[in-house]
Amino acid sequence: MAVFLCSISLLFCIPLYLLYQIKKQAIHITKRVLLLMSQIEHIFVADSLLQTPEPRLMPIS
């Protein structure tokens, strides 16, 4: 009986532990992706600030 209860508890504990590990990895990956996206956004903002409009020639009248 004890072996049966032990095996049942292992059958429940191992998947729960694996789900917990997957959740931790998913949160870590999500944080990294969000950080990368914010860095890319900063690059685009800095790039657009660096691009100055071309000087326009005034027409001679």
> String of b and e for 29-60 (b: at least 16 CB within 10 Å)?
eeeeeeeeeeeeeeeeeeeeeeeeeeeeeeee
- For the question of whether the overall pTM of this predicted structure is more than 0.85, the answer is no
Q: Residue ranges of the domains in the chain? A: 13-44
What is the rounded average pLDDT for all residues in the chain?
A: 82
| 52 confidence band (pLDDT: 50, 70, 90) | low
User: Residue 53: pLDDT above 90?
Assistant: no
The confidence band for 10, taking pLDDT boundaries of 50, 70 and 90, is confident
For residue 8, the one-letter residue type is I
